[in-house]
Structure 1
Amino acid sequence: MSLKLEWIDERESGIEAGEAGWQELLANLLELAGQSEGVADGLVSLTLTDNEGIRELNRQYRGLDKPTDVLSFPLREAGEASSIVYDGEYETETVEIQGDWGEEDDDGDTADPTGGEPFEELLGDIVISIPRMREQAEEYGHSQERELGFLFVHGFLHLLGYDHEDEAAEKTMFAKQEAVLAKAGLAR
């Protein structure tokens, strides 16, 4: 298994000219960021949206009725064991999966005792506003690829539990982002 990127484009325009290499760029950044953090397996869902789409999510989940550049939705707390949690109209519960997990097949994938295919751990969702990304790239005077990469790696680090609530945490997180971007050739 490996780190995998699921790509969702919610924009009405879909992929535009100049965006053809973005999937490859972000898959590479995911691999580099995963390597730097010791994360070798998992699935990250990325949604590209517009300012209105991200504004709605920002209002719903953060109580801020304004667009932002990137939102991250980790599917588990840092250090927490994998579990499935139902919320909303269902009672919250953790579902334990029974069976002899952990045995690897010939490809190195973890065996599923029910006979099904192995599955990736869902690390979480990242949502990026493409119009906001473009505005910031112009504002900061660098390429759209650099800004997109910055937002994506920033979102990925949030999925892993990193934060920038205080100056020390911000320094740590931003240094990690810049190191990954430099490895990908996207340094400032």
Structure 2
Amino acid sequence: MISFNYETDFSLANENMLSDWISKAIESENLKEGDINYIFCDDEYLHKLNVEFLNHDTLTDIISFDYTIGKIIQGDIYISIERVRDNANDFNVSFLEEVYRVMIHGVLHYCGYKDKTTQDASEMRDKENHYLAMLG
């Protein structure tokens, strides 16, 4: 089950559509959907998590805690709406496109995709683009 939680002044207007989209992405990766929680927050909220759990004293757009067991995808995905908004401006894309990209990015990590090397990052970007195209 996919759930959406809001710790900042933001909400998605199309939660059901996005849940279906994420579910289809997981299914097409031949995996099963467990409990996935999206938590939308601000920079301060996510920065605290980054310092406390990852020892990174930096701002970031997403932190995901992966609780996947075998082929059952599950975890908590924290997204800073402030970072996403800035990144959308930096990358010259719409705010919602960047929100969706970050949302699927977190799930793709749970599916086993990495982004630390140039090659892995390129593969991740291709997968993001593939699933973003499914949104039409």
TM-score range, shorter chain: 0.7 to 0.9
Residue 46 of structure 1 is matched in structure 2 by: 38
Please report the TM-score for the alignment, with normalisation by the length of structure 1.
0.65
- Following superposition of structure 1 onto structure 2, how do residues 91-102 of structure 1 map, counting pairs within 5 Å? none
Which residue identity does 1:128 align to in structure 2?
I
Please report the TM-score for the alignment, with normalisation by the length of structure 2.
0.88
Which residue identity does 1:54 align to in structure 2?
L
CA distance in 2, matches of 1:9, 1:45: 11
Corresponding residue pairs, total: 136
Q: CA deviation at 1:31?
A: 2.3
Stretches of structure 2 that go unaligned for 5 or more consecutive residues are: none
Q: Does 1:175 align with 2:126?
A: yes
Stretches of structure 1 that go unaligned for 5 or more consecutive residues are: 83-120
Bigger relative contact order, structure 1 or 2 (CA pairs below 8 A, ≥6 apart): 1
Q: Does 1:20 align with 2:13?
A: yes
> Greater share of strand residues, 1 or 2?
2
Q: CA deviation at 1:35?
A: 3.0
> Greater share of helix residues, 1 or 2?
2
Residue 108 of structure 1 is matched in structure 2 by: none
The verdict on how the C-alpha distance between 1:133 and 1:179 changes in structure 2, with shifts beyond 3 A counting, is: same
Larger Rg: 1
Q: CA deviation at 1:183?
A: 1.4
Residue 111 of structure 1 is matched in structure 2 by: none
CA distance in 2, matches of 1:182, 1:14: 24
User: What RMSD in Å do the two structures reach over aligned CA positions?
Assistant: 2.0
